[in-house]
Amino acid sequence: MTAMAERARSGSAPVRARLVPVPDGRGTVRRAGGAPHRPAAALRERIEVLRASDSMRSDEETETPLPTVDPARLALSLAGGVVEVVRGVRPASQLARWLAPGVLAELRERTAMAGTGRRVVLVRPCAVRRLMASPSGTGVEVSAAVDDGVRVRAVAFRLDAHRAGWRVTALEIG
């Protein structure tokens, strides 16, 4: 127990209190009006809403200019990073900036189902053996072969322009 706690317990410490005036001056507390608050949506419901918003594209979004960041360089990093998440070497939250919310949720579910949620130490880091990126509409479709030290995995994803950068809106891992 700390010295301050001991003094407070024995009664020798002064009691600190701050008096606050009542807002309406009548000595009663006013209640907020309006409808009662709705409980927070469950995580699954929020993910479904975010997936729907990811798949819907308005005319304003299709007219945005493409980001200046080279998508091939980003794709190279993301391909290796996604495989590291599946292997359990990297937490999925590190890729949250570049993954759409629905894609991030699916990646976390896949990692949980594979049972690789715990950290695994690899003998050598993941290496991207081949990467192909092709422009498609307002985005870029990427396919890669990634060697994770145990086997070679196929990774395919779509990068779409989002704000001033790229975001993965579809992901498949073999």
| Beta strands 152-162; 139-147: pairing state | antiparallel
pLDDT of residue 121: 60
Domains of the chain: 67-173 (3.10.450.50)
pLDDT digits (tens, 9 = 90+) for 83-92: 989 888 888 9
Q: What is the DSSP letter of 132?
A: E
Contact 36, 83 (CB under 8 A): no
Query: 0.85 exceeded by the pTM?
Result: no
pLDDT digits (tens, 9 = 90+) for 55-97: 665 545 555 566 778 888 999 999 999 998 988 888 899 999 9
